[in-house]
Structure 1
Amino acid sequence: MLSSKRVVLPLVGSFFLPGKAKETIEEIEDQELAQIAWAEYYFFSAKAKECVEIVEKYLNHEDVILRLSADMLYTFSNLTLGDAFAAQCAREDVYRCFEKIMKENTPIEEKASCVFAYYVISIFIHIPLKKKYHL
């Protein structure tokens, strides 16, 4: 996986005034990260299908941050759409990324992003954490 200076779920991690989400996304210079932010916007606007359509191309991305963001959004959107199998596949990919990154000599920010994604998905959909990863 490629090293990245990006952040997981860039819209959620941004500050903006109510009603100014679109303007905030348009200011993101990194086009791939902006696409993830648009997917977040659609998910939180109850447009899960549009979210899925954007993030599908990032599910196997070499950049772990884009991949984790896509996996998280794909999991939650597909649960909303009633596709538990697709949601489970993306959730399992977060775990694979988590295990791989934790074994490698990667920047602490990437490890933290993996921990964040792993815990968020596990907690939000009530999946018990693997015992060896209780932090």
Structure 2
Amino acid sequence: MEYLTVRETAKKWNLSIRMVQQFCIAGRIPGAQKFGNSWAIPADAEKPRDPRSVRKQAKPPASNLLDSAGLMPLMNTPFQPGTCMAAVRAMEAGPQRDIAWAEYYYFTGQPEKAVRAAAAYLTGPDMGAQLSACLIYAYANLSPPDPARPLCA
């Protein structure tokens, strides 16, 4: 069996030397053997798929749904002080913007509006929106009552 060096394999596969070394270390090249500090790679070995491209393909198609990484979209959006409302308005219509409005209402001292905005997302298929809505809904309902409004009439 004929073997190639990491450098030769990198040139053959149009990859960096470091990437070929990483494939060898990870055991992604069948038949690759380490001799001291060098790798011997079978000349007929097939180029492994780049794990970064596999992850990209594994992602679901882009949608307007929030995922667990997108919880509390307004808190996770950079904006200049004083431009919060503009940041919300700039978001694409859908759950992300609706939850951002609920956040805006909560953080501007409007818990009743925050509860109403979040309530629509307390149930539904979008887990990110549901979790965000639950957080906003719970915190908005914990807000201290308005001292000018009596608790009981």
After TM superposition, the score normalised by the length of structure 1 is 0.55
Larger proportion of strand: 2
Confirm or deny: 8 A CA contact 2:66 2:129 kept in the other structure: no
Counterpart among 57, 60, 69 of residue 120 in structure 2: 57
What secondary structure does 1:17 align onto? coil
Question: Which residue does the alignment assign to 2:89?
Answer: 26
Q: Cα deviations across residues 80-122 of structure 1 (Å, max 9, x unaligned)? A: 156xxxxxxxxxxxxxxxxxxxxxxxxxxxxxxxxxxxxxxxx
Q: Which of 54, 59, 67 is the equivalent residue of 2:130?
A: 67
Q: How many percent identity over aligned positions?
A: 30
Deviates more, 1:4-13 or 1:15-24: 4-13
- Computed over aligned residues only, the root mean square deviation of the Cα atoms, in angstroms, reads 1.7
Q: Which residue of 2 aligns with 1:123?
A: none
- Number of aligned residue pairs: give it: 80
1:41 equivalent in structure 2: 104
C-alpha contact 2:106 2:140 (8 A) present in aligned 1 = yes
Map 1:2-21 → 2, pairs under 5 A: 4=65, 6=67, 7-21=70-84
Separation of aligned partners in 2, 1:77 and 1:45: 11
Highest RCO, 1 vs 2 (Cα 8 Å, sep ≥ 6)? 1
Mark the structure with the bigger radius of gyration.
2
- Partners of 1:81 and 1:68 lie apart in 2 by 22
1:30 Cα offset (Å): 3.8
Q: What 5-or-longer segments of structure 2 have no aligned partner?
A: 1-59, 146-153
Residue 71 of structure 1, CA deviation: 0.3
On the 8 A contact 1:51/1:74 being kept in 2, the answer is yes
Q: Which has the higher helix share?
A: 1
Q: 2-side partners of 1:17 and 1:8: how far apart? A: 20
Separation of aligned partners in 2, 1:38 and 1:31: 11
